[in-house]
């Protein structure tokens, strides 16, 4: 539970960083490094690891001061790092030395992170993955293929889940690692999207050696560690755009103001409904964050991600309707490497990019299963592979 003293302490630390390093005049990496040193990257982490040991809910106090002064939104610059890797490393890294090694360069953007989870043959069944890790002395030798890896082309480190025991049921034979993306045997190939850009990648791992010290959690306990990552992922995605009118709905409102010739009562009503839905999502995300403040991210984070993804698609569909024939124009189809979603400058590009929202970070179908089973208590899906060794489960 946060106190007035803790809140004042966080606010004072944030004002000191802004006073000593004006974010409008110093490099982003220097500013974010100073935020880490002041304990403002993740205020609920221990001191020395980018935090102050206070309530998670006080992060908003720090962020408001830093961003009002012109500071960046770190999640948008290193989303896997800030939203998923940092909490996983904080909870499961084997030593304090490794936490210090990884966390500060992550916070300062010296090291971008990516997430090697999805595979071509596993689909949404993450626990069915086939990438193997075999123990060889003090190392593990990894072979396999991952896909849809955001920022793999920029990443220095990656979160990896691999199969270490194919003779037990699929959830029990997994182990979690941190892999060096510059290690021999790691090959990254860009995947060109419908936008024409390469934001995602496929990654091939051929005899990649990972020190056992870079294992997170116990051997065979990878699924539990992965849940730390996934719960934080869905919470961080669902919590984006925390101020009223932020996010996709801001694009729709701006476009509405620019196109008075396209106004009709039907479109006005549609825009109002979209705004109400966006505001309901924002308030639901606030409630989810309040819950996470007390007991950490849980399945409730899936609500914000699910609703936000589908709302984004509806908003940009409205934008295309409002543009009319102009929506068919696409200013720049140059093949580029994209770092963040904010790199898409045009509404048409954001419309195309929004098609991925209901797939990335857990498909909407998977999230509905999570909410139905873990929040509403509905019966689970029939699982034909339950209890069977992974090696014996038929795979396409």
Indicate whether 290 pLDDT > 70.
no
pLDDT digit string (tens) for 167-180? 999 999 999 999 99
pLDDT digit string (tens) for 108-123? 999 999 999 999 988 7
Q: What distances in angstroms separate CA 85 from CA 75, 81, 154, 211, 327, one per listed residue? A: 11, 5, 15, 18, 37
Domain 226-375, CATH = 1.20.140.10
CATH 1.20.272 holds for 4-107:
no
Residue 23 is predicted with a pLDDT of: 95
| Domains 4-107 and 113-222 alike in fold | no
Show me where the domains of the chain are located: 4-107, 113-222, 226-375
Do 75 and 66 contact (CB within 8 A), yes or no?
no
Do 330 and 167 contact (CB within 8 A), yes or no?
no
Task: Give the pLDDT mean for 56-74.
Answer: 92
Do 191 and 116 contact (CB within 8 A), yes or no?
no
Query: Beta-carbon neighbour count of residue 26 at 10 Å?
Result: 14
- Upper half-sphere CA count for residue 256 (Cβ side, 13 Å): 21
As a residue count, the chain comes to: 396
Q: What distances in angstroms separate CA 121 from CA 13, 126, 131, 171, 303, one per listed residue? A: 48, 10, 10, 16, 27
CA distance 240 to 243: 9
Residues 6+ apart with CB under 8 A from 107: 32, 33, 35, 36, 41, 50, 74, 81, 82, 86
What residues are labeled active site?
233
pLDDT digit string (tens) for 165-217? 999 999 999 999 999 999 999 999 999 888 888 888 999 999 999 999 999 99
Do 202 and 147 contact (CB within 8 A), yes or no?
yes
Domain 113-222, CATH = 2.40.110.10
């Amino acid at each position: 539970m946060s106190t007035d003293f803790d809140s004042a302490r966080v606010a004072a630390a944030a004002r000191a960083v802004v006073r000593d390093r004006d974010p409008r005049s110093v490099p982003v990496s220097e500013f974010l490094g100073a935020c880490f040193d002041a304990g403002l990257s993740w205020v609920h982490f221990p001191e020395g690891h980018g935090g102050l040991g206070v309530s998670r809910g006080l992060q908003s106090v720090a962020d408001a001061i830093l961003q009002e002064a012109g500071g960046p939104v770190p999640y948008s610059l290193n989303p896997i790092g800030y939203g998923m890797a940092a909490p996983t490393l904080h909870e499961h890294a084997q030593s304090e030395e490794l936490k210090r090694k990884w966390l500060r360069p992550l916070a300062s953007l010296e090291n971008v992170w990516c997430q090697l989870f999805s595979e071509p043959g596993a689909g949404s069944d993450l626990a069915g993955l086939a990438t193997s890790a075999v123990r060889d002395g003090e190392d593990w030798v990894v072979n396999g293929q991952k896909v849809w890896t955001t920022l793999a082309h920029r990443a220095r480190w990656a979160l990896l889940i691999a199969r270490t025991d194919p003779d037990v049921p699929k959830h029990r034979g997994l182990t979690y690692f941190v892999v060096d993306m510059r290690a021999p045997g790691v090959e990254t190939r860009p995947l060109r999207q419908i936008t024409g850009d390469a934001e995602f990648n496929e990654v091939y791992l051929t005899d990649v050696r990972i020190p056992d010290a870079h294992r997170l959690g116990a051997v065979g306990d990878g699924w539990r560690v992965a849940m730390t990552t996934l719960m934080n992922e869905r919470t961080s995605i669902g919590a984006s755009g925390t101020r009223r009118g932020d996010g996709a709905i801001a694009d729709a409102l701006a476009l509405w103001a620019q196109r008075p010739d396209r106004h009709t009562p039907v479109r006005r009503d549609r825009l109002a409904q979209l705004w109400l839905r966006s505001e309901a999502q924002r308030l639901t995300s606030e409630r989810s964050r309040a819950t996470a403040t007390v007991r950490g991210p849980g399945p409730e984070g899936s609500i914000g991600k699910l609703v936000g993804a589908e709302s984004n698609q509806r908003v940009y569909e409205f934008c295309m309707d409002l543009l009319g024939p102009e929506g068919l124009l696409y200013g720049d189809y140059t093949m580029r490497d994209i770092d963040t979603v904010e790199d898409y400058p045009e509404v048409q590009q954001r419309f195309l990019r929004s098609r991925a929202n209901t797939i990335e970070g857990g498909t909407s179908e998977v999230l509905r299963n999570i909410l139905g089973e873990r929040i509403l208590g509905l019966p689970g899906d029939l699982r034909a592979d339950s209890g069977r060794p992974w090696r014996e489960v038929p795979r396409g």
